[in-house]
Amino acid sequence: MQQDYPIALLNITATLVTLTVFVQVFLTKKTSFARWMLSVLSAMTLLGTIYLKGADQLFWAYPTLATIFYMLSAHIAALVAGIILAVVIVFVYSVLAPIHLSTAIATLILTYAFAYAFSVKMQRKNHQLRNSAFTDSLTSLGNRRALDERLQVIEETRKKQPIEYCLLVIDIDFFKSINDEFGHVTGDQVLSAFANVLKLGIRGKDEAFRYGGEEFVIILEKTELLNGVTISQNLLKDIEASNWPHINDKVITASGGIAQLNESETIAQWIARADKALYQAKDCGRNNVIAAQCNFKIQNPFKIVSS
């Protein structure tokens, strides 16, 4: 009876750790630490069980391998599971008959190989699904869902450390007339080409999103308002200077509103200020940028004019 106490203690410990991890995930909604904890817990429980109860507990190795590949990314799981597999074989090497040892090693390696192959395939599928869910199919920019996720990250980041962000909302001027004159297929081609101009015009650390229709959002990281205004100015210049063969090389211009994130405002208020500035830019004759908070506008987009 006493020899069952260690295994009972091991099971109780594993149960308590599992419950603790569950509570942590429930409270924080974060699973990265939990996945690692459950993987390590599964491995330690397996090794402890085999050490205490002997090689007849080897069957627990199969679900443990599956658990590790389920919890961790494919390549990391392969490393962790490979180490566990090697330790398990060392534990049972001297106590199993050669035929049983050969069978165990063969089936464990097959389980490992199939679990790894399945994990790699699922990881690729998940990556493809995520790209489809977060990418605008027409422009290949991030879509509204991707923007919402990025804004959530900004909200969490600014609680830990102050980082300057500017948000530029930019809209193609008179886009409806392009659709009316050339058709919606051509309009889609213009949107795609416009997105390429934005991608080429922003810095590597900045991100562009299609907000909806002909409206786009650019998040400028570690950027003060005046620097953001300069970037916006250059973007409008690039747009006006670009060739648009889809519409017989007619000139396309855009209007924008830009706002720097304030510590005291919410993300929704930040977007609202930039959006309001965009409409002010349109009211001021288009082909310009209005900066929220600062009473100046960029006209034609080459000259800063006090208002």
> What are the catalytic residues?
214
Determine how many CB atoms are found less than 10 A away from the CB of residue 299.
18
Closest by Cα among 219, 237, 223 to 274: 219
Residue 155 is encoded by which pair of tokens? 């909200």
> Rounded CA gap, 146 and 220, in Å?
15
> Rounded CA gap, 239 and 225, in Å?
21
Closest by Cα among 164, 170, 169 to 260: 164
Place of tokens 């809209």: 171
Place of tokens 């290949």: 140
Q: In sequence order, what are the residues at sequence separation of 6 or more whose Cβ sits closer than 8 angstroms to the Cβ of residue 286?
A: 173, 174, 253, 255
